[in-house]
Amino acid sequence: MIATAEGLRVAPFYDLMSTRVYAGLGRNFAFSIGGESEPGKIGPPQLAELAASLKVAPKYLEKIARDMAVQVEAAIPRAAEELLPLLGPAEKVMAQRLEQKIAGIVRKMRKRMLGEGDEQAD
């Protein structure tokens, strides 16, 4: 989170999760959220602890997380659509696999952290 004149906002996360799609790389964050550094174990209790440490309402943090998940999920196919025409055949296969993997990670995290299933993503 970054404190700005307009209030708290989500910090850029360009390096937070990008390595999660590659097998063999570290499975832990370099920092912890609510005392947990393994993304697969972060859930509502850790979000509540993070909200308390930031001195914000848990519902506010949940809204930010939900909005971010929706935006990331929507951006994945758009990014792939822009990149695919620029790639060779082998690169396209890799990009399509990454697209599927990242979308799956986002859906699982949203469901675990916010109690949302795929049916709410439509």
What is the predicted pLDDT for the residue at 20? 56
Q: How confident is the model at residue 121 (pLDDT cuts 50, 70, 90)?
A: very low
**What is the rounded distance in angstroms from the CA atom of residue 100 to the CA atom of residue 115?**
21
What is the predicted pLDDT for the residue at 122? 36
Once rounded to an integer, what is the mean pLDDT over residues 18-22? Answer: 56
- When divided into structural domains, the chain yields a total of 1
Rounding to the nearest 10 degrees, give the CA dihedral for residues 18, 33, 104, 100: -10
pLDDT digits 0-9 by tens, 27-42: 655 667 888 877 777 8
Instruction: Please give the model's pTM, rounded to 2 decimal places.
Output: 0.60
Q: Which residues contact 121 (CB under 8 A, 6 or more apart)?
A: 70, 73, 107, 110
What is the predicted pLDDT for the residue at 118? 47
Q: How confident is the model at residue 120 (pLDDT cuts 50, 70, 90)?
A: very low
| Structural domain boundaries enclosing 17 | 2-121
**What is the rounded distance in angstroms from the CA atom of residue 19 to the CA atom of residue 26?**
8
pLDDT digits 0-9 by tens, 72-109: 888 888 888 888 888 888 888 888 888 888 888 888 88
